[in-house]
Amino acid sequence: RKEVEQDPGPFNVPEGATVAFNCTYSNSASQSFFWYRQDCRKEPKLLMSVYSSGNEDGRFTAQLNRASQYISLLIRDSKLSDSATYLCVVSFRRSSASKIIFGSGTRLSIRP
């Protein structure tokens, strides 16, 4: 089982739609959670960190459910420019080793 699992998509939705992605992680010791965005052939960039209480940044809302070990990202009123791959990221420290694990990504395509 992968340590971080995401639905690869692609999600193809019309402009203005609301779309949600889920991500599950296997290590219950995970401490920090992030969503990254990656455009084609570019480096990943931080979209938002995910906090225990959930957090919102404009049209984007991230939620964390520690009991069920999943993270979600909700995009409201989607724009053409939201088309990208969204990466779920989990960070933890295990004994003396610390690690950050990237999911394989969910592809999102917004159509006019």
Q: Which residues bind another protein (CB under 8 A)?
A: 30-32, 34, 36, 41-46, 49, 87, 89, 91-93, 97-105
* Closer to another protein by Cβ: residue 11 or 92: 92
A 10 A CB-CB count for 1 gives: 5
Q: Closest approach of Cβ 77 to another protein, in Å?
A: 26
Cis-peptide, bond into residue 44, ω within 30° of zero: no
Q: Closest approach of Cβ 51 to another protein, in Å?
A: 13
Residue count of the chain: 112
* Closer to another protein by Cβ: residue 93 or 111: 93
- Contacts of residue 20, Cβ cutoff 8 Å, sequence gap at least 6: 72, 73, 74, 75
* Closer to another protein by Cβ: residue 44 or 55: 44
